[in-house]
Amino acid sequence: MRSWPVLLLVTWLALGTTGLQADSILSMNPEETFDTSQQLDRYEALINDLRCVVCQNQSVAESNVELARDLRRITRDMILAGKTDAEIKQFMTDRYGDFVLYSPPLKPTTYLLWGAPAILLLLGAVVMVSVVGRRSGESSDDAERTGENI
């Protein structure tokens, strides 16, 4: 009976360590920590959108440095705490700046970047229309076969 403190201690240690282990497995086991598949999807999307500031060529999802692991854990915790994606991204950029986002935020300095597809397509369409318009008015006799000079 006198050994019960020891027993308690041993039990506590055993539970404590397996608890720790389970937690670290859990922290690598995103599926078992989220309540809904939307949360899991959000998690995956977010950690792939964050750039690992240390290695810089990997996303936080891919990188194995400690900072990346911490950021993954924080992301998970924030999702479970009910934060929105915007709030999580704000947390990251407050500390590391816009550099940490692989998808640059829409702000005046990036209007040109995000507007590029529309602008270029528009320009392309304008060129197409003008060229085709001009060419359809011309005779379609072959201007040359071979060997034409300027």
Partner 1 sequence: MIPELGHVALVMALCLAVTQSFFGLAGPIFDKPSWSAVAKPVSIGHFVFVCIAYAGLTYAFIQNDFSVAYVAGHSNSGLPFMYRIAAVWGGHEGSMLLWILMLAAWGALLGVFTRRIPLQTAAKVLGVMGVVSVAFMWFTLATSNPFDRLIPAPMDGRDLNPLLQDPGLVIHPPMLYMGYVGFAVAFSFAIAAMIEGKLDSQWARWIRPWTAAAWAFLTIGIALGSWWAYYELGWGGWWFWDPVENASFMPWLIGTALLHSLAVTERRGLFKGWTLLLAVSAFSLSLLGTFLVRSGVLVSVHAFATDPARGLFILAMLVFFIGGALALYAWRAPQLAQKGGFAPLSRETFLLANNMLFVVATLLVLFGTLYPLFLDGLGLGKISVGPPYFNLVFVIPTLPLVLLMGMGMHSTWKKTDWSQLKGKLWPFALATVLFTAIVPLIVYGQFGVMKFIGLTLGVWVMAVAFIDPVRYLLRKHSLRGYSRTMLAMCIAHFGIGLFVIGVTMVETYGIARDIGMKPGDVAQVDDYSFTFVGTRNVEGPNYSAVRGEVIVEKDGERVTVLYPEKRTYRVQQNPMTEAAIHPRIRRDLFVAMGEPLGQGAWSMRIQYKPFIRLIWLGALVMAFAAFFGISDRRYRVRSEAEAAERTPAEGHGKLQEGLA
Partner 2 sequence: MKSLKYLLPGLAFLVLAAFFYRGLFLDPRTVPSPLIGKPAPAFDLQELRQPDTRFATADMFGKPAVLNVWATWCAGCKQEHDFLMRLARSGEVPLYGMNYRDERDKALEWLSQLGDPYKAIAYDPEGMGSLDWGVYGAPETFLIDPEGTVVYKHLGPLNPPIWEREFRPRIAAMQGSTQ
What is the contact surface with partner 2 in residues (CB under 8 A)?
53-54, 56, 66-67, 70, 74, 93-100
Judged by CB under 8 A, the stretch of 6-14, 75-83, 84-92, 119-127 that binds partner 1 is: 119-127
- With CB under 5 to 8 Å by kind, the binding choice for 145 among partner 2, partner 1, none is partner 1
Distant-in-sequence, close-in-space partners of 125: CB < 8 Å, separation ≥ 6: none
Sole residue written with tokens 């034409």: 148
| Tokens coding 57 | 């060529």
Q: What's the min distance (Å) between Cβ of 98 and partner 2?
A: 8
Q: Which of 62, 70, 77, 87 is the binder for partner 1 (CB under 8 A)?
A: 62
Query: Where does residue 92 rank: exposed (0-12), middle (13-18), buried (19+ CB within 10 A)?
Result: buried
Buried (b) or exposed (e) across 68-90, using 16+ Cβ within 10 A? beebbeebbebbeeeeeeeebbe
Asked if 99 touches partner 1 (CB under 8 A), the answer is: yes
99 or 102, CB closer to partner 2? 99
Beta bridge partners of 42: none
Q: Which of 13, 104, 106, 111 is the binder for partner 1 (CB under 8 A)?
A: 104
Beta bridge partners of 101: 50
- With CB under 5 to 8 Å by kind, the binding choice for 93 among partner 1, partner 2, none is partner 2
Q: Binding-site residue total for partner 1 (CB under 8 A)?
A: 54
